[in-house]
Structure 1
Amino acid sequence: MKIRLIDKSDWSSYQKLRLNALKAASESFGSTYEREVKFSEQEIIERISPNSSKFFMGIFDGKELIGMVSFHKEIGEKDRHKGDIYGMFIHGDYQNKGLAKLLLSTLINKVKEEYPDLEQIRLSVVSNNISAVKLYGHLGFEKYGVEINALKTGDKYFDEDLMVLFLK
């Protein structure tokens, strides 16, 4: 297994895994399969290309992307001390093997190195995703709130736990 930044050359692998995630865990993401299956190669490349305030990180089994997560640093004058984690997903065949913890730990270490002034990393997780909530807790994230009915699929609502990792 190898962890590295996802870049434009990974666009097809990223899209394949992202669409898998949107099907397998549709309640966990703000977007939908139906929306993202229409994205063009250029749209995907623009999304995943790293810049000074964001990057996508992946875990690869050989050449196959099997897990991913993204980090976005706030850039506003009053909130640039914060960043957010989005889109965490490990392919079903690779879950429960410690890879999510490894991927997130690597991301957190990269954030600490590249953004030394960053004070906190936030994320939201569907409240009933007990294994993810537990994982984030093991990595030091603390729950600071709940967004009631944060996501809606059809007529079903999902609450999200709001979590933060204080770096300073």
Structure 2
Amino acid sequence: MHIRLLDATDANRYHALRLRGLTTNPEAFGSTYEREVGFTLDFVEQRLKPSEDKFTLGAIDSEGVLVGIATFVRESSTKIRHKGNVFGVYTTPEMRGQGVGRSLLLALIERARDCEGLEQINIAVITDNAPARKLYQSLGFISYGTEHHSLKYEGQYWDEDYMALKL
């Protein structure tokens, strides 16, 4: 397994994996397949363009297939710039339980530590997603609240737990 920074050259396979995640686990994302299926390649390339305060990491298996993704975005406002957020964590179902998510998040945390002045990383997780919550807790994330009915899709609600990692 190889973890690396994704960029515009990865747009096609990132977009395909993201759409797969939105189909496989729609409850785990704030977006929807219907919204993102229409994204242009140019839009996805811009989304993947790394900067000092925003990046997406990918997990590549031994055959060169993208099997996991995670995105970090630092807050831009002066009073909350000491925080960043993890979004869009997804590992293909066939790779779950093999350390892919852990490797992605460890690499993301290490890279985020290089952001000058960053003190905290936040993540939201569906309350019912016990494996993800357990992973985040094992990495040092602490739960600080739950938002009931945080997400709603096709008449179904999901609660989200909010977690933070102090750097």
For normalisation by structure 2, the TM-score amounts to 0.97
Write out aligned runs for 1:15-54 (5 A).
15-54=15-54
Question: Counterpart of 2:161?
Answer: 161
Supply the distance in 2 between the matched residues of 1:40 and 1:116 (Cα, whole angstroms). 33
- Root-mean-square deviation (CA), in Å? 0.8
Write out aligned runs for 1:1-168 (5 A).
1-61=1-61, 62-112=63-113, 114-167=114-167
Gaps of 5+ in 2: none
Match of 1:78, SS state, is helix
Question: How far apart are 1:145 and its partner, in Å?
Answer: 0.4
Question: How far apart are 1:42 and its partner, in Å?
Answer: 0.4
Question: How many aligned positions are there?
Answer: 166
Match of 1:13, SS state, is helix
* 2:79 aligned partner, one-letter code: K
Match of 1:123, SS state, is strand
* 1:97 aligned partner, one-letter code: Q
Structure 1 range deviating more: 46-55 or 138-147: 46-55
* 2:33 aligned partner, one-letter code: Y
Q: Name the % identity.
A: 41
Q: Any idea what the Cα deviations from partners look like across 1:126-162, whole Å, max 9, x if unmatched? A: 0000000000000000000011101001111000000
Question: How far apart are 1:52 and its partner, in Å?
Answer: 2.2
Match of 2:163, SS state, is strand
Q: Any idea what the Cα deviations from partners look like across 1:94-127, whole Å, max 9, x if unmatched? A: 1111111111011101111x21421100010000
Supply the distance in 2 between the matched residues of 1:116 and 1:52 (Cα, whole angstroms). 10
Q: Any idea what the Cα deviations from partners look like across 1:45-84, whole Å, max 9, x if unmatched? A: 1111111210000000132111000000112111110000
Supply the distance in 1 between the matched residues of 2:32 and 2:111 (Cα, whole angstroms). 29
For normalisation by structure 1, the TM-score amounts to 0.96
